[in-house]
Chain A
Amino acid sequence: MFMFNLLWLIPLFPFTAFVLIVLGANPNKKLSHSLAIGGIGLSWILGWLTFFTAVFTPHFGEHPVRLTFDWFPTGNTWFETGVMIDPLTAIMLFMVPFVCLMIFIYSVGYMGYGTEHVDPRYSRFFAYISLFATGMLGLILADNLLLLFIFWEIMGLCSYLLIGFWFEKKYPDPRQITPKQAGLKAFITTRIGDVIMLLGMLFLYSRVGNLTFEHIFSHETLHMLAEAQVTLPLVGTLPVATVIAILIFGGAVGKSAQFPLHVWLPDAMEGPTPVSALIHAATMVSAGVYLVARMFPLFAAVEHGPQVGVVAFIGAFTALFASTIAVAQNDIKKVLAYSTISQLGYMIAALGIGAYVAGAFHLITHSFFKALLFLGSGSVIIGCHHEQDMMHMGGLRQKMPITFWTFVAGAFALSGFPLITAGFWSKDEILAHAWEGFMHEGVVSWPFYVWLLLTIAAFLTAFYTGRQISLTFLGQPRSHHAEHAHETPHSMTVPLMLLAFFALTLGFAGIPEEIIGHGRNWFHHFVGHEFAATPLSVPVMLLSAVLAVSGLFFGWLVYGRKPLAKGQPDPLVKALGPVHTVLKNKYYFDELYQATVVRGAIGLAELFFKFDNRWVIDPLVNAVGRGGAALASGLYRFFDLPVIDGAVNLAGKVGVALSVALFHFVDMPIIDSAVNLVGRTGAALSAAWDWIDLHIVDGLVNFSGWFTERVGRAFRLIQTGRVQNYALVVVAALILLVAVYLLR
């Protein structure tokens, strides 16, 4: 058990590598990449040692090992955090460090170390991928949801930095997305998912008071969560567990690029290929699936609750949806990107219908062969001097034999070539589970729906894999680059071969008992022994074998038999016509989001800014101020000099007459000045009113400052400079005061 005390070291090694590179080793390229590879190498060794000790400790599943410490105070309780190891973590520890190591070694070659056009920010690249490795390893080992969320976001940061690694890159055609925009898009979309997950986490934390998995998945907590009801405004009353599960699933949708937040993954291909392999195939995107697997007891808390439907639907639909788009893509990396989305859909669907073991198994096998495929495509791109369009490739079989054979191994694993590839076993188990569920619950049920979609998706996967192989490797080279393609150096091909080995052999770890007779399905026993083993269903296995082979054959038939000549359009275009253009443009989701969400946010921002600057707060003051000005100028005109004298004299004479018992009769000028007085006031007020209407736009605060100034100017006019007017005002005031008193 000693090994488990070193658990917390695993994420620490790459982090020290990151810190050392950033602080010190930046200028020295050789030092920085060796530091990075050294760091991940140590984690890999420690990881595998932990994995094997875990495998050999008897019934390891019951009591996961936890090392915790108090992190920060919350009211009078403390929030503990720490690392944890249980079967799911163990198998991830087996896969993640190894794949990362392979990709680190690969990227030394890919980034052109030793050649003249080596990337100027070479060491920064290794710093970022080491930080990413820390994030991924930390995520696997976290024993509570908060620490998981923290590493989750650190990975988001690294994916942003790495996608936008070549931020100076500009494309002639404005519509094509540049790395920096792709990075931003990735960060914001995943951030939306993260916020939804944060809300779920907060809801859980406020209800349970603790985020550690052990505490959450204890029976009484799960029972409490399942019982408690919460009413949401539009949705109605739901069990709390379902709401939390769906919210947390939102995070997984964002991170694993499931429909509807899938748009960022294909654009993430703008980043260097090792990044696509590392982040957007093997590890980060599978973190979403890992999260759902980790929270599986919560998902299963409410039997047949709506959350099962949501997860299964999203998974299955994405699987089919993505595979249809993959068929119509010409860029070698885009095809793989969509195939990743579709394979992730597979795993999510599997977890949706309760196939915990099958989902986890497929997660592991998929990481291996998808990483292999991406690295293969990377070496093809380097071989063809950064050519990415499959239409310009062809005939690389002779020129790049190792890449060809490893790529074929990965492709066959992806399409599930029967018996020898890992993909076949893991995908088959999911289909078997779906089939068995379908048998139990009949046609109108999620398992049937999932089985149907996944079967079609399986065929399409095999088809586009076949298409991809024949387009890139078979036939004649269709462009200048393709002719001069050359095999990539050993630092790139060795990882390919190692990954190919695993892509083929890993399946045997999860072969159902019935086939090998005596032994038991090791993977199932180790990971999910509390779940019932899925019985072997021969028809399903046959069906998936047939699908895989026919898909591949059909792909070869269309593209391989009569290899396309240079510049010859894709035969599928003619076959599918308008449907093809829709598929090519990814169902126009990018344009849809751009128009609605992005334009909407910027529009709202413009609106608020105007609101703030010109429309309400400041402007409201000026508007009413303008209105005030009109009123005051109306008053001014009413009070202007000739009128003042008239009025003042009028008041004076009337006042005096009163005081001399009214014997001095009011003379003629008084009457006409009174008449035009009334006329002029009316005109002024109307002019004032339309002024207010016209200039309602300006703000309130300046108005108060401004209005006082206007009133000040108006009162100032009463100070006419003539002492008799002053004396008159005194007399008038006295009379007024006494009158007020009398009337009171």
Chain B
Amino acid sequence: MGFPLLTVILFFPLLGAIVVWLIPKEKEQLIRWFSIVLSFIPLALSIYLWIAYTRSAGGMQFEEIYNWIPVLKIRYHVGVDGISVPLVFLTSLLSTLSHFYSAYTIKKQVKEYYLFFLLLQMGMYGVFMSLDFVLFYVFWEIGLVPMYFLIGIWGGARREYAAIKFFLYTLIGSVAMLLAILYVYFNVGSFDILEATEKFHLIRPFAANIVPVSLAFWAFFVGFAIKVPSFPFHTWLPDAHTEAPTAGSVILAGILLKLGAYGMVRIALPIFSEAFSYYAWVVGILAVISIVYGAFVCMAQWDLKRLIAYSSVSHMGYVMLGIAAAAFALRMPGKETSAAIALNGAVLQMFNHGIITGGLFFLVGIIYEQAHTRELKAFGGLASKLPTYYGIFAVTGFASLGLPGLAGFWAEFMVFRGAFDIIPIYAVIGAVGIVVTAGYILWKIIQYMFLGTFNEERWGGKLVDMATFEKVTMWPLVLFMFAIGVYPAFIVNLLNDATTALLAKL
């Protein structure tokens, strides 16, 4: 096995949490800087993971298997492939930036804050790395509890309602998933995801037993769709995002939404391939509704953070559209390349959305720290007074609306390229979302906040341009937006091998 790289990355935050727990409560500054330095190590390791992952070999690498609960045939089985490597890196990057940003903004109960944050980080790593159902489920739930407390204790006005709503929604989804996991266990004989991918559709072909397999598929799908969130299950998102503290909503939007989409790509698509392709039209419709509906609702928002929250619904709709197209293509002969491109687009959009919306939430936090209001109508003409803030916000905004030359465009292009070939009508309706996205970003955000005249009497001396620490937080994200925008190959190669391998197996 060699150096257990994945286990070290996985349990490093736990180690950090224990050490932070030992530090006495009063030494806040020590806690802050310790956890920042601490979070650099998993970041370095995940960069090493990215470099060390040999693309040519493909498939699962750095696998580690230990017996955890042999009596129920549950194993501690972790491994990463082309899809999870970038997501693990994204988790470390956004966590490090959040640690760094919260060091300056979180004032009360610092110790508990970092404890919950490190536990959350471990949960997220676990989900992206685990290849055993129970392990996947355990880390999926571990990620839930700290987020509940982060929203609840450090959140905004309606934080309690938002926290419990978030917890209940996700718990309903995950509990339904638990039953489906047990169903798969009884059919495949073990909790191993890879084994289930090979064996399940042989043991339980979809045609033979439509009802139980559909039930299991929908249980999984609902569990993931709530997390993504796709259309009917999204009402928790705006509340949770608006009420969560800045760093919390960055992680919530940046990574927690990806757990659902990742689950679909890792579990729902490979294991229930026939069921997924049979119901792909429903998934497609939900995705298209999410895109268009989310975009239009954004247009009607006046609270900046709530607007960005709804934009996440719309952007994650692209991911769902990509996956639905790939699933649809399973039944259509000769559409392999389009399916691969659509899935590539979906997974790339997951990575991009993490970078872009993470950045957007940081920017909302920056202005909120100074102005203490998120009312779009209250601002105006900031471009003249806060030039760097305007510059970075404009770049992130344009990346989010999919301007070519920035990250957003590639994912949308690939998703639509794939989807257009397989399910043209969905793609055409989805394309409406692009125009509306451009609309609400330029009209609502850029127009109301930055252009127009700066009202002196309200914000006179108060608003000042970005502090250095805010710039340092934003620069890596902006760098990535440009890097992926100009030369997306460095990440798409990785995804491409994994997705083609994944689709080839179905």
Do chains A and B make direct contact within the complex (CB under 8 angstroms)? yes
Q: Give chain A's interface residues, CB within 8 Å of chain B.
A: 22, 70-77, 146, 149-150, 153-154, 157, 160, 164, 167-168, 170, 180-181, 183-184, 187-188, 191-192, 195, 198-199, 202-203, 205-206, 209, 601-602, 604-606, 608-609, 612, 617-618, 699, 701, 705
B residues 45-101 touching A (CB-CB < 8 Å):
none
**9 further A-B pairs in the complex, CB-CB below 8 A; given A75-B336, A184-B442, A195-B434:** A72-B489, A75-B500, A76-B340, A154-B404, A168-B381, A188-B435, A618-B235, A701-B165, A705-B168
24 contacts between A and B (CB under 8 A): A72-B488, A72-B489, A73-B492, A74-B344, A75-B336, A75-B500, A149-B404, A150-B409, A154-B404, A180-B451, A188-B435, A188-B443, A191-B434, A195-B435, A198-B416, A199-B420, A206-B420, A601-B436, A605-B298, A608-B300, A609-B300, A617-B234, A617-B235, A701-B165
Please state if A157 and B420 are interface contacts (CB–CB under 8 Å).
no
Q: Is the CB of A72 within 8 A of B410?
A: yes
Q: Chain A residues near B416 (CB, 8 Å)? A: 198, 202
B493 engages A157 (CB within 8 Å): no
| Given contact pairs A75-B500, A76-B337, A170 touches B453 in the complex (Cβ within 8 A) | yes
**What A residues does B383 contact at CB under 8 A?**
167
- Smallest Cβ-Cβ distance to B503: which chain A residue: A75
Across the interface, which residues of B come within 8 angstroms of A153, CB to CB?
A: 403-405, 409
| CA gap between A686 and B270 in the complex, in Å | 53
Docked complex Cα distance between A701 and B489 (Å): 43
**Contact of B403 (CB < 8 Å), options: A157, A164, A602:** A157
**A262–chain B nearest beta-carbon distance, Å:** 18
Contact status B420-A188, CB under 8 Å:
no
**B398 at the binding interface (Cβ < 8 Å):** yes
Are B438 and A71 neighbours in the complex by a CB distance under 8 Å? Answer: no
Q: Within the complex, which residue of A149, A209, A602 is in contact with B337, where a contact is CB–CB below 8 Å?
A: A209
Minimum C-beta distance from A73 to chain B (A): 4
B421 at the interface (CB under 8 A from A): yes
Q: A163: shortest Cβ distance to chain B, in Å?
A: 11
Q: Is the CB of B451 within 8 A of A187?
A: no
A194 to B451, CA, bound (A): 24
Shortest Cβ gap from B223 to chain A (Å)? 16
Determine the distance from Cα of A699 to Cα of B232 in the docked complex, in whole angstroms: 12
Hey, which chain A residues are within 8 Å of B410, CB to CB? 72
Contact (Cβ within 8 A) B420 A202: yes
A76 contact set on B, CB distance < 8 A? 337, 340, 500
Any A CB within 8 A of the CB of B439 = yes
Chain A residues near B40 (CB, 8 Å)? none
A199-B428, A205-B417, A608-B296 known; A154-B301 Cβ under 8 A: no
Q: In the complex, how many angstroms separate the beta carbon of A344 from the nearest chain B beta carbon?
A: 23
What B residues does A168 contact at CB under 8 A? 381, 384, 452-454
Within 8 A of A (CB), among B89-144: none
What CA separation (Å) do A701 and B414 show in the bound complex? 35
List chain A residues, Cβ under 8 A from B344. Answer: 73-74
| Contact residue among A22, A74, A618 (Cβ-Cβ distance under 8 Å from B341) | A74
Interface centre among A150, A203, A602, A618 (most CB of B within 10 A): A150
Contacts A77-B337, A202-B417 given: A164-B451 contact, CB under 8 Å? yes
Residues in B with CB closer than 8 Å to A699 are 235
Q: Bound complex: CA of A618 vs CA of B338, how far in Å?
A: 37
Interface residues on B, range: 35 or more
- Please indicate the chain A residues that have their CB under 8 angstroms from the CB of B338 in the complex: 75, 206
Interface pair B297/A608, CB less than 8 Å apart: yes
Q: Which residues of A contact B341 (CB under 8 A)?
A: 74-75
B299 touches A605 (CB 8 A): yes
Q: Which residues of B contact A205 (CB under 8 A)?
A: 417
On whether the beta carbons of A150 and B300 are closer than 8 Å, the reply is no
Answer whether residue B496 sits at the interface, using C-beta atoms and an 8 A cutoff. Answer: yes
B372-408 vs A, CB cutoff 8 Å, 1 = contact: the mask equals 0000000001011000000100000010000111000
Nearest residue in B to A187 (C-beta to C-beta)? B442
Q: Please, which residue of chain A has its CB at the minimum distance from the CB of B428?
A: A199
Bound CA span A612–B236, Å: 11
Query: Do B296 and A604 have beta carbons less than 8 Å apart?
Result: yes
Q: Enumerate chain B residues within 8 angstroms of A191, measured Cβ to Cβ.
A: 434-435, 438
Closest to A178 in B: B452
- When the two chains form the complex, which single residue of A70, A187, A206, A604 contacts B417, counting CB atoms closer than 8 Å? A206
Asked if residues B443 and A203 are in contact (CB atoms below 8 Å), the reply is no
CB distance from A70 to the nearest CB of B (A): 8
Q: Chain A residues near B300: list those with CB within 8 A.
A: 602, 605-606, 608-609
A422 to B420, CA, bound (A): 45
Contact of A74 among B340, B403, B420 (CB under 8 A): B340
- How far apart sit A146 and B452, CA to CA, in the bound complex (Å)? 35
**Residues of chain A contacted by B381 (CB below 8 angstroms):** 167-168
Is residue B355 within 8 Å, beta carbon to beta carbon, of the partner chain? no
A208 vs chain B, min Cβ distance (A): 11
Cα(A605)–Cα(B297), bound, Å: 5
Q: Given the complex of chains A and B, what is the CA–CA distance between A167 and B337 in angstroms?
A: 46
User: B431 and A198: CB pair below 8 A?
Assistant: yes
Q: Give the Cβ gap from A123 to chain B, nearest Cβ, in Å.
A: 12
Q: Does B166 interact with chain A (Cβ within 8 Å)? A: no
In the bound complex, how far is the Cα of B46 from the Cα of A462, in angstroms?
69
**Bound Cα distance A206, B422 (Å):** 9
* Residue B162, interface by CB 8 Å: no
B439 and A188 contacting across the interface, CB-CB below 8 Å: yes
Nearest-CB residue, chain A, relative to B313: A612
Complex Cα distance, B232 from A198, in Å, reads 29
Q: Which residues of A contact B409 (CB under 8 A)?
A: 150, 153
Q: Does B221 contact A (CB under 8 A)?
A: no
Is B214 located at the chain interface by the 8 A CB criterion? no
Contacting pair B496 A73 (CB below 8 A): yes
A153–B440 alpha-carbon span in the complex (Å): 18
CB-CB under 8 A from A183, the residues of chain B are: 451
Question: Which 3 residue pairs spanning A and B have beta carbons closest together?
Answer: A605-B299, A609-B300, A75-B337
| Across-interface contacts of B439 in A (CB, < 8 A) | 188, 601
Q: How far is the CA of A149 from the CA of B417 in the complex (A)?
A: 14
**Chain A residues whose C-beta falls within 8 Å of the C-beta of B434 in the assembled complex:** 191, 195, 198
- Residues of B within 8 Å of A195, CB to CB, are 431-432, 434-435
Are B452 and A73 in contact, CB atoms less than 8 angstroms apart? no
Among B298, B438, B454, B487, the most chain A Cβ lie within 10 Å of the Cβ of B438
Chain B positions within 8 Å of A187 at CB level: 438, 442
B447 within 8 Å of A by Cβ?
yes
**Inter-chain contact B337/A154, CB cutoff 8 Å:** no
Chain A nearest CB, measured from B467 CB (Å): 19
**Chain B residues with CB under 8 A of A202:** 416-417, 420-421, 427
Give Cα distance in the complex from A435 to B337, angstroms: 48
Contacts of A149 in B (CB 8 A): 404
Q: A609 near B297 (CB under 8 angstroms)?
A: yes
The CA-CA distance from A205 to B424 in the complex, in Å, is: 13
How many angstroms from the CA of A22 to the CA of B403 in the assembled complex? 19
Q: In the complex, A150→B403 CA distance in Å?
A: 8
Alpha-carbon distance between A601 and B369 when the two chains are bound, in angstroms: 33
Smallest beta-carbon distance B21→chain A, Å: 34
For A604, the chain B residues whose CB sits under 8 A away are 296, 299
Is B293 part of the contact surface with A, judged by Cβ < 8 Å?
yes
B433 (CB) vs chain A CBs: closest residue: A195
Q: Which chain A positions have C-beta within 8 A of B450?
A: 167
A72 to B299, CA, bound (A): 34
Cβ contact of A203, chosen from B404, B420, B438, B452, cutoff 8 A? B420
Cβ of B400 to closest chain A Cβ, rounded Å: 14
Looking across the interface, which residue of chain B has its beta carbon closest to that of A621?
Answer: B235
Contacts of A181 in B (CB 8 A): 447
Q: Counting chain B CB atoms within 10 Å of each CB, which of A75, A154, A191, A192 scores highest?
A: A75
Q: How far is the CA of A199 from the CA of B435 in the complex (A)?
A: 12
Report the minimum CB–CB distance from B290 to chain A (whole Å).
12
Q: In whole angstroms, what is the CA distance A378 to B500 when docked?
A: 57
| Complex CA–CA separation, A74 to B383 (angstroms) | 39
| Chain A CB within 10 Å, residue with most, of B404, B432, B492 | B404
Chain A residue numbers with a CB within 8 Å of B489 are 70-73
The 8 Å CB contact of A167, one of B232, B391, B442, B451, is B451
A70 to B416, CA, bound (A): 21
